[in-house]
Structure 1
Amino acid sequence: MWSQSEKVRRFFVENLRLKKDGSCVISGSEARHMTKVVRMRPGDRFELMGGEGERFLAVVRSIGPRQVLVDIERALVASAPSPVEITLCQAILRSDPMDYLIQKTSELGVDRIFPFFSMRTVAKIESEKFEKRVRHWQGVAVSAAKQCGRPLPARVSSPTSLPELLIGLSGEECLKVVLWEEEESMGLKGLLKESAKKERVIGMVGPEGGFSMEEIRMTRKEGFIPVSVGSRVLRAETAAMTLVALVQYEWGDLG
């Protein structure tokens, strides 16, 4: 007898369509993963996650060359979302640190990730490769959601420039913070404790070399509050994880 407390494999289908008989066809990368990597067999049970937060206990009925037919046994109770929506604006890092950042902040419950190019961005991505890179990043977020059991993965947007990003975020009614290693008077933890809770937080983290003074001025103009996360000099990916964890601890569902 399977229970939700047991460790179970999870698979994610963005556009989940159930047939009238309670079955569902899984194709594409998830089908390949099920058959070629995990080597599931008819009768194997797993958790099926949909792009709108649906969760089901499902069982493999049959396996074809390019698709897997499964039967839905019952709906599962989805975990409650965090009371705070977290958007992470992240200056693009080198490949491995960026993947690690997306994985870990997704596990911590970030909702949206906006990658952007800043003045000191080291990593270079040709515009014609944006779509491929975003698909890769989204795959990392989906894998993280499956691993930790969150009902929806973080959504990763296409890379943009900092000025374009700030224009898109103007007028947002929420708490906006930018991590800046030179900020000495305002800490993120103190700001969260002193501020009235908001339903949404937008956090911005710079690249390996940090933000320039001009970029900090730009963010301030759009309502971002420069904050620090302590005296330690953190890697960009560690800083992003710390930001998300602090917001979830003070205002969200962590701890």
Structure 2
Amino acid sequence: MAAGTPRFYVDAALTPAGELVLPERVAHHLTRVLRRGVGDGIRLFDGRGSEVSAHIERSERRQVTARIEAPLTPMAESPLAVHLGQAISKGDRMDYAIQKAVELGVAAITPLYTEHGDVALKGERAAKKLAHWQGVAISACEQCGRATVPVIAPAMKLSEWLAARDEPARWVLHPGEASLASTTTIARAALLIGPEGGLGDSDLTAARYHGFAPLRLGPRILRTETAPVVALSLLQYLHGDLGY
């Protein structure tokens, strides 16, 4: 199957030789945006590590059906699993941080409420925002080739997230002496990124109490959506698969 074959996430069992009615989002993009029709090849992945080749079997006004052909060897996940705790930011900054973190191989993302954060999500608004962020992660996987979609956890207080951390390597973006380089193999890590105004004193105290080492990434102050890109790039280069 050609490298330019369209690739989509579907939350369904991918059984070789089986037929699958494509979700409306996928069907619309295939037929209305990409102008693909019956017989054209596609790639489908389930977000849990399985990927298959397929083709459009039927294209009707209200429904597009694909026939699954054969399993494909999915892209391997990075040997470094990073759990990103990202302070919630307004506008598209949070979307950008999630999108780029997924492209850079992050294993999980938890949006966080912090001392200086100015976003509060409750009830239906919180549920809609979580679904939107998960959609951002799915779209990033479709684009970058990952077959495993990182879970975007429901937003929580920083204190709760810190208390649940058991990764052997933990860093918080803040001026300090910590280094991402290490002579030992790191398989799991936690990375904490604060909001636009930075983490408050109480947040930093709590992070240090839970084993997070303060980390400075050069002399310039990075925006909250830029910091995870730089930190994850360095982590994946030093301990993951970015240098391969």
Q: Which TM bucket (shorter chain)?
A: over 0.9
Q: How many residues align?
A: 243
Q: Post-superposition shift, 1:17?
A: 4.4
Could you tell which deviates more after superposition, 109-118 or 21-30?
Answer: 21-30
Find out whether 1:16 has 2:13 as its counterpart.
yes
Go from structure 1 to structure 2 and tell me whether the alpha carbon gap of 1:75 and 1:17 turns closer, same or farther (over 3 Å shift): closer
- In structure 2, the residue matched to 1:78 is 74
Cα distance in 1 between the residues matched to 2:117 and 2:18: 49
SS at match of 1:80: coil
- In structure 1, the residue matched to 2:130 is 134
Q: Deviations over 1:174-231 (max 9, x none)?
A: 2111111x32x33xxxx23235222101100000000011111101111111111111
User: Match for 2:157: what amino acid?
Assistant: S
Greater share of helix: 1
User: Match for 1:192: what amino acid?
Assistant: L
Cα distance in 2 between the residues matched to 1:67 and 1:86: 39
- In structure 2, the residue matched to 1:7 is 4
Match of 1:145 among 138, 141, 147: 141
Q: Post-superposition shift, 1:150?
A: 1.2
User: Match for 1:142: what amino acid?
Assistant: I
Query: What is the TM-score normalised by the length of structure 2?
Result: 0.93
Paired residues of 1:27 and 1:66 also in contact (CA < 8 A): no
Could you tell which deviates more after superposition, 36-45 or 134-143?
Answer: 36-45
Match of 1:241 among 229, 239, 243: 229
User: Match for 1:15: what amino acid?
Assistant: A
Find out whether 1:214 has 2:202 as its counterpart.
yes
Paired residues of 1:84 and 1:251 also in contact (CA < 8 A): yes
User: Match for 1:234: what amino acid?
Assistant: L
Go from structure 1 to structure 2 and tell me whether the alpha carbon gap of 1:195 and 1:118 turns closer, same or farther (over 3 Å shift): farther
SS at match of 1:146: helix
SS at match of 1:223: coil
- In structure 2, the residue matched to 1:193 is 181
Give the alignment of 1:111-190 within 5 angstroms. 111-169=107-165, 172-180=166-174, 182-183=175-176, 185-186=177-178
C-alpha RMSD of matched pairs (Å): 1.7
Among the aligned pairs, what percent are the same residue? Answer: 36
Q: Structure 2: any 5+ residue segments left out of the alignment?
A: none
Q: Deviations over 1:81-133 (max 9, x none)?
A: 21111110000011211111111111111110000111111233333311110
Find out whether 1:62 has 2:58 as its counterpart.
yes
Cα distance in 1 between the residues matched to 2:46 and 2:118: 36
Query: What is the TM-score normalised by the length of structure 1?
Result: 0.89
Q: Post-superposition shift, 1:65?
A: 4.5
Cα distance in 2 between the residues matched to 1:27 and 1:78: 21
User: Match for 1:223: what amino acid?
Assistant: G
Cα distance in 1 between the residues matched to 2:31 and 2:4: 19
Find out whether 1:96 has 2:95 as its counterpart.
no
Q: Structure 1: any 5+ residue segments left out of the alignment?
A: none
Cα distance in 2 between the residues matched to 1:66 and 1:157: 33
- In structure 2, the residue matched to 1:107 is 103
Q: Post-superposition shift, 1:241?
A: 0.8
